[in-house]
Amino acid sequence: MKLYTETDANPELLKDAHIVIAGYGSQGRAHALNLHDSGLNVTVAVRKNGPSWEKAQADGLKVAETAEAVKSADVVMILVPDTVQKALYESQIAPNLKSGAMLMFAHGFNIHYNQIVPAADVDVTMIAPKGPGGLVRRQFQEGKGVPCLIAVHQDASGNAHARALAYAHGIGGTRGGVLETTFKEETETDLFGEQAVLCGGATELVVKGFETLVEAGYQPEVAYFECLHELKLIVDLLHEGGIARMAEFISDTAYYGDLVSGPRVVDEYAVENMREVLKDIQDGTFARDWILENQAGAPRYNALRRQDLEHPIEEVGRKLRARMSWLNTED
């Protein structure tokens, strides 16, 4: 493992650089404001008169249309949604990008799956914060930083890695630590994590547990509390101190049940399925399906999403959460 910290970065490398942040959403706003507060020259590139234009201006940042901003850019960080990056790159960025500039990403999907193929005379790097934009901004303001991943896809200048690290330093990443990876590793592990464990795995486990209890005749409200609501307590303990901290805070009965029954639920069969999910990510099957799905106007995504959100657990949850007003206060 290679981890870079503040003393490894050379902020001088971006001192005179014109940095363009394309997109002003979760990550875009955090990167732009942090870099600006680090004393760097930042322009936010968004659609003229779109909602982000005014927001970035109100935040005290320079704003320009993408094609115009890119012309003088030394660094262009692409922070529009992954599904629109290719179109934005081809129409606004590629025709205007200077030779020797650095093209940056916060997720490797479009580079790794060849949706964006940059010219040979630009650096292509990634700084991927391991947290949402709100946290990246808040931690920076508190003098801390969210850890980041760094990767170099293409080193045309011979200085790509050092420039990317200087960028990570500017958003506060070196305070939290910057971990070396590759576009391949970041893309494949990110997709696998969200599919098998974080989003897909966790919600499916919750829903199947809920269904099992309801089918056996228990009240849906009680099933909701046991299978969904209380998950947060466990996740918080895992997040703070791993499995050891959870084991310390739950009862012996709960931990014994965990040890003997957990592997019965997530068994060899589930692991075999995880391997298949990973294989679809590695061989491009998932990427191809998702790219074609978007080209078709996302009919399957929209249908599946509608079905997912119509599950009875959602109805039960809405009713119960209405009595727990404290849940809606901002994290």
**What amino acid positions are annotated as catalytic residues?**
107
203 binds, among ligand NAD, Mg ion, none (CB under 5 to 8 A by kind): Mg ion
27 binds, among Mg ion, ligand NAD, none (CB under 5 to 8 A by kind): ligand NAD
Q: Please report which helix (H) or strand (E) contains residue 30, including its range.
A: helix 26-37
- Min CB(172)–ligand NAD separation in Å: 14
- Min CB(82)–ligand NAD separation in Å: 5
Cα distance between residue 262 and residue 67, in whole Å: 53
Q: What is the DSSP letter of 19?
A: E
97 Cβ contact list (under 8 Å, min separation 6)? 70, 73, 76, 103, 118, 119, 122
107 binds, among ligand NAD, Mg ion, none (CB under 5 to 8 A by kind): ligand NAD
Of 46-54, 142-150, 175-183, 266-274, the segment contacting ligand NAD by CB under 6 A is 46-54
Paired strand residues for 152? 125
Question: Residue of minimal CB distance from ligand NAD?
Answer: 25
**28 lies in the binding site for ligand NAD (CB under 6 A):** yes
Q: Are 125 and 157 in contact (CB under 8 A)?
A: no
- Min CB(186)–Mg ion separation in Å: 23
Cα distance between residue 33 and residue 56, in whole Å: 9
The one among 17, 73, 75, 129 contacting ligand NAD by CB under 6 A = 129
Span 297-316, contacts to ligand NAD by CB under 6 A: none
Q: Are 119 and 86 in contact (CB under 8 A)?
A: no
132 binds, among ligand NAD, Mg ion, none (CB under 5 to 8 A by kind): ligand NAD
Taking CA 112 as the corner, what is the angle to CA 108 and CA 116, rounded to the nearest 5 degrees? 90
b/e code 211-238 from CB counts within 10 Å (16+ = b): bebbeeeeebeebbeebbbeeeeeeebe
Q: Which two tokens stand for residue 157?
A: 């200048």
Q: Which CB sits closer to ligand NAD, 28 or 173?
A: 28
The one among 18, 36, 86, 107 contacting ligand NAD by CB under 6 A = 107
**88 lies in the binding site for ligand NAD (CB under 6 A):** yes
- Min CB(102)–ligand NAD separation in Å: 16
Cα distance between residue 30 and residue 42, in whole Å: 12
**84 lies in the binding site for ligand NAD (CB under 6 A):** yes
Q: Which two tokens stand for residue 266?
A: 């997530």
The one among 132, 177, 200, 312 contacting ligand NAD by CB under 6 A = 132
**34 lies in the binding site for ligand NAD (CB under 6 A):** no
Q: Which positions from 49 to 68 touch ligand NAD by CB under 6 A, shown as an x/- string? A: ---x----------------
Q: Please report which helix (H) or strand (E) contains residue 292, including its range.
A: helix 285-295
Q: Please report which helix (H) or strand (E) contains residue 22, including its range.
A: strand 18-22
For 87-144, the three-class secondary structure string (H helix, E strand, C coil) is: HHHHHHHHHHCCCCCEEEECCCHHHHCCCCCCCCCCEEEEEEECCCHHHHHHHHHCCC
Q: Which CB sits closer to Mg ion, 208 or 275?
A: 208
The one among 128, 168, 171, 227 contacting ligand NAD by CB under 6 A = 128
Span 171-230, contacts to Mg ion by CB under 5 A: 203
Binding site for Mg ion (CB under 5 A): 203
Binding site for ligand NAD (CB under 6 A): 23-28, 46-47, 52, 79-82, 84, 88, 106-107, 128-129, 132-133
